[in-house]
Amino acid sequence: MTAAAESTFTFEGRFARELAELAVPWQAEEAPEPQLLVLNDALADELGLSPEYLRTPEGVRLLLGNHVPTGATPVAQAYAGHQFGGYSPLLGDGRALLLGEILDTEGRLRDVHLKGSGRTPFARAGDGRAVVGPMLREYLVSEAMHALNIPTTRALAVVATGRLVRRDTMLPGAVLARVASSHLRVGSFQYARATENMELLRRLADHAISRHYPESAQAEHPYLALFEAVVAAQAKLVAQWMLVGFVHGVMNTDNMTISGETIDYGPCAFMDAFNPAAVYSSIDVGGRYAYANQPVLAEWNLARLAEAMLPLFNEDQEQAVAPAVEALGKFRGQYSDAWFGGMKAKLGLAAGPAEGAEGDEASELVDGVIALLKDGPVDYTQFFRNLAHTARGNSRPARGMVLDLAAFDAWAGRWAALKPDPVQMDRVNPVYIPRNHLVEEALAAATEGDLDPFNRFLDVVRSPYEEREGLERYTEAPPEDFGNYRTFCGT
């Protein structure tokens, strides 16, 4: 029976084959007592992987990398990266393996990747393992991001290994099966560039074009077009993070994809109260990756990508710089357009022109709402949702959240004159996000073996825009004693 199920899908080893210099064939560590904790049936179906098969003992072993299916060639990927501004020439998958790619039911090539699958040659001092809490955290937050229409890697499954892993205390080990349109990162290009093998760098760029931006191949300068496409994708992505109050927390160049998908949900968090300086990661002591810094840091990372790709733009270094600078120069405008357009949608305003009197009025209203938020502690998510009630004639819920009532009334009067559409607002302003205190509560229970709170929360964040009765506690700001929330990288 399992053989029949396996014959319905085939893994490809395209990355391993085309970019062998970046791929170290490796095997996952054997798990003593596997237990499937959560499986994404819809995503499995999308991949043509039958959920029934994945629930069999062999399927669970596949999700751990212990059963290697036909065509799969598990590899650890090599990459470099700037971590908090400092360059590491060799990072790579220290505790992860790319199992291979699968052609999904819509004809898209998707990576299946395992995180927590044991030490690899890139593990350095790490133990190669991952634990249940942080893997479920990535599962929950990445599924929430997907439901918020934000490009992201997806979570296919979390399997507990049955092994205890040493962290501050002994914690249950787990492997996350992750799906992505690829795992190519800015750091992959930095690594290839550092080898000084220009043919490899070109092959990597060709692979990226073919998988993500095939239209670039038709451009006059395909590699410049590839770079421009990454700039545009990241500008849009980071604008979307900002619009929902997402703080990634570890925007190192090895954690920035070429595809424009959000990757690596280690120390991330959604802000509760609006705060441009919001930082959650315990290791981000300088606040490098604070909420408001994210666009600037994305641009900084893209400059590192440009440096790595420079020899592809022109054989003459001098001549390569000007087009790279020009392409990177588009980031700010693209980011601002995406963010401003998104803010107008959050305020229920028609797309309209960005220029002229109408554009100026919208721009002042956007500035005005940010000023109101900055003034308070105001819960970011609740405020926009409540503002739709103002548009429906009941200003109490939103007005009650701000300190300066006169400022709110003046702002709301101008805003109402533009006839904001509350239905449009409810389509883009989520009611439910993965609030930190609820994430912690669900993960603590799961670590103790009770998955019910996790599964309930997962169900809630998968429909973020539709308000449902009985789910009030999921909309509430954290209790006062929740304090300064801290997240951890060494997961």
Q: Based on the shown chain and the rule CB under 5 A, indicate whether residue 386 belongs to the binding site for Mg ion.
A: no
Single residue of 240, 252, 382, 386 touching ligand AMP by CB under 6 A: 252
H/E run at residue 477: none
Q: How far apart are CA 376 and CA 274, in angstroms?
A: 8
Angle between helix axes 405-416 and 356-375 (nearest 10 degrees) is 150
Q: How far is CA 216 from CA 25, 200, 210, 223, 295, in A?
A: 31, 19, 9, 7, 24
* Binding at 181: pick from Mg ion, ligand AMP, none (beta carbon under 5-8 Å per type): none
Q: Based on the shown chain and the rule CB under 6 A, indicate whether residue 134 belongs to the binding site for ligand AMP.
A: no
Q: How far is CA 219 from CA 95, 201, 226, 233, 342, in A?
A: 38, 19, 9, 17, 29
Q: Are 338 and 235 in contact (CB under 8 A)?
A: yes
State both tokens at 372.
């109101």
- The number of C-alpha atoms within 13 Å of 278 and in the hemisphere containing its C-beta is 25
Single residue of 92, 100, 249, 342 touching ligand AMP by CB under 6 A: 92
Q: Based on the shown chain and the rule CB under 6 A, indicate whether residue 94 belongs to the binding site for ligand AMP.
A: yes
Q: Based on the shown chain and the rule CB under 6 A, indicate whether residue 95 belongs to the binding site for ligand AMP.
A: yes
Smallest distance from the beta carbon of 285 to ligand AMP, in angstroms? 16
* Binding at 94: pick from Mg ion, ligand AMP, none (beta carbon under 5-8 Å per type): ligand AMP
Single residue of 264, 299, 379, 426 touching Mg ion by CB under 5 A: 264
- Closest CB to Mg ion: residue number: 264
Part in contact with Mg ion (CB under 5 A); list of ranges 40-48, 260-268, 324-332, 423-431: 260-268
Q: Based on the shown chain and the rule CB under 6 A, indicate whether residue 264 belongs to the binding site for ligand AMP.
A: yes
Part in contact with ligand AMP (CB under 6 A); list of ranges 99-107, 127-135, 271-279, 428-436: 127-135
* Binding at 435: pick from ligand AMP, Mg ion, none (beta carbon under 5-8 Å per type): none
- Closest-CA residue to 254 (of 81, 490, 78, 489): 81
Smallest distance from the beta carbon of 447 to ligand AMP, in angstroms? 17
Q: Based on the shown chain and the rule CB under 6 A, indicate whether residue 402 belongs to the binding site for ligand AMP.
A: no
Smallest distance from the beta carbon of 263 to ligand AMP, in angstroms? 8
Q: Based on the shown chain and the rule CB under 6 A, indicate whether residue 123 belongs to the binding site for ligand AMP.
A: yes
Q: How far apart are CA 168 and CA 337, in angstroms?
A: 44
State both tokens at 471.
């789910």
Q: Based on the shown chain and the rule CB under 5 A, indicate whether residue 255 belongs to the binding site for Mg ion.
A: yes
Single residue of 32, 85, 121, 126 touching ligand AMP by CB under 6 A: 126
Smallest distance from the beta carbon of 288 to ligand AMP, in angstroms? 13
Q: Based on the shown chain and the rule CB under 6 A, indicate whether residue 489 belongs to the binding site for ligand AMP.
A: yes
Smallest distance from the beta carbon of 464 to ligand AMP, in angstroms? 26
Part in contact with ligand AMP (CB under 6 A); list of ranges 198-206, 248-256, 341-349, 357-365: 248-256
Smallest distance from the beta carbon of 97 to ligand AMP, in angstroms? 11
Considering beta carbons, is residue 88 or 255 the nearer one to Mg ion? Answer: 255
User: For residue 327, how many other CB atoms are within 10 A of its CB?
Assistant: 23
The full 3-state SS of 133-164, as one line of letters, equals HHHHHHHHHHHHHHHCCCCECEEEEEEEEEEE
Q: How far apart are CA 430 and CA 425, in angstroms?
A: 9
In terms of Cβ atoms closer than 10 Å to its own Cβ (0-12, 13-18, 19+), residue 56 is middle
Q: Based on the shown chain and the rule CB under 6 A, indicate whether residue 118 belongs to the binding site for ligand AMP.
A: no
Q: Based on the shown chain and the rule CB under 6 A, indicate whether residue 93 belongs to the binding site for ligand AMP.
A: yes
Active site members: 254
Q: Based on the shown chain and the rule CB under 6 A, indicate whether residue 129 belongs to the binding site for ligand AMP.
A: yes
Q: How far apart are CA 480 and CA 354, in angstroms?
A: 40
Smallest distance from the beta carbon of 233 to ligand AMP, in angstroms? 20
Per-residue interface string for the shown chain with Mg ion, residues 207-246, x marking contact by CB under 5 A: ----------------------------------------
Overall residue count recorded for the chain in this entry: 491
Q: Based on the shown chain and the rule CB under 6 A, indicate whether residue 288 belongs to the binding site for ligand AMP.
A: no
Single residue of 266, 342, 368, 434 touching ligand AMP by CB under 6 A: 266
Considering beta carbons, is residue 32 or 121 the nearer one to Mg ion? Answer: 121
Part in contact with ligand AMP (CB under 6 A); list of ranges 92-100, 139-147, 190-198, 431-439: 92-100
- Closest-CA residue to 241 (of 254, 260, 218): 260
- Mapping DSSP to helix (H, G, I), strand (E, B) and coil, where does residue 491 land? coil
Q: How far apart are CA 73 and CA 17, in angstroms?
A: 9
How open is the CA angle 370-374-380, to the nearest 5 degrees? 75
Q: How far is CA 135 from CA 316, 344, 443, in A?
A: 46, 35, 10
Residues 6+ apart with CB under 8 A from 168: none
Q: How far apart are CA 104 and CA 118, in angstroms?
A: 27
Q: Which residues bind Mg ion (CB under 5 A)?
A: 255, 264
Q: Which residues bind ligand AMP (CB under 6 A)?
A: 91-95, 122-123, 126-129, 250, 252, 255, 264, 266, 489
